[in-house]
Amino acid sequence: MTPLRIRFLEDMQLHGYSPKTQSCYVGAVRGLAKFYRKSPEQISEEELRRYFLHLTLEKKVARPTATIALCGIKFLFQNTLQRSWTSLKLLRPPKEKKLPVVLSRQEVQGILGCVHTPIYRACLTTIYSCGLRLSEGIFLHPCDVDSGRMLLRVRGKGNKDRYVPLPQRTLEQLRQVWATHRSRTWLFPAATRRGVQYSVQPITPSTLQRAFGRALKQSGVHKAAHVHSLRHSMATHLLEAGVNLRIIQSVLGHATPTTTALYTHLTHQVRESVKTPINELMNGL
């Protein structure tokens, strides 16, 4: 490991970044170094500018990829290398407005019913019923379950903990699954290759995504859904049930209500409210 990478990692640790964020930022800087085949210390401001033009105009990377690359590289040059370049202030990831995929309640039930491995089904059910991100779900510990108050402790984004309501049916599934492995560390430990014993590590994101993908295909639901769609769906279903937007914001762990307000565009009530006016517009055409 080079002295620059060691210093880069130390600076990120001092800023309180999670191991996942550190890994993403290191990967972003590695991509820059690989592109020019030299150390980032030797890269000029003009070269940096051209690299981001390459990502935006030629590779046409998605906004999340561009954001990670921008944040990681800016952190390196501004904090570790102490370079106050003007172009660093001008760089912005491309803007996009995409509505998330939302599943109906029946579709959620159908997909989860096609997950045949109990530990995967319990994890996906918990993600849906508690509105969790994928990483929040797989990294749950047995001690996070407060059955007395029917709450689940969630270690959220940016090391921000929160408590969310724990449905009785979800608690029952968690108890049933935990009885099969009795891990003191993880609620959802990964199975070994033998499929009988369980690992000291939790199930991986890719494993859970594949399990969801198989269930989605088997269920016959023709939507481009993924595990995170369960979180979007849960928020939309709560909004349709009349739950206050600020309460949903708290459950999801959103920093601002603006993010949560996105789901107001996806509810059944909003869609139904425009059907009659649109049908009237079409009368006589």
The active-site residue, picked from 50, 83, 133, 214, is: 133
Q: Which two tokens stand for residue 133?
A: 């991100």
Tell me if residue 226 is catalytic: no
Q: Is 232 among the residues known to form the active site?
A: no
Q: Out of 25, 128, 198, 263, which one is annotated catalytic?
A: 263
* 175: CB partners within 8 A, 6+ apart: none
Strands (E), the chain: 145-146, 151-155, 161-165, 189-191, 198-202
Q: Choose the catalytic residue: 157, 162, 181, 214.
A: 157
Cα separation, 238 vs 25, in Å, equals 35
CA 264 – CA 261 distance, rounded (Å): 6
Query: Catalytic: 133?
Result: yes
Distance from C-alpha of 44 to C-alpha of 227, rounded to nearest angstrom: 41
Those residues whose C-beta lies under 8 Å from the C-beta of residue 12, and which sit 6 or more positions away, are 21, 22, 25, 75
Distance (Å, whole) CA 265 – CA 160: 27
Instruction: Catalytic residue, from 121, 231, 232, 237: name it.
Output: 231
Q: Is 263 a catalytic residue?
A: yes
Query: Among 196, 274, 263, 270, which Cα is nearest to 235's?
Result: 263
- Catalytic, 254? Answer yes
**Given the residues 7, 50, 83, 228, the one annotated as active site:** 228
- Say whether 54 is catalytic: no
Residues with catalytic annotation?
133, 157, 228, 231, 254, 263
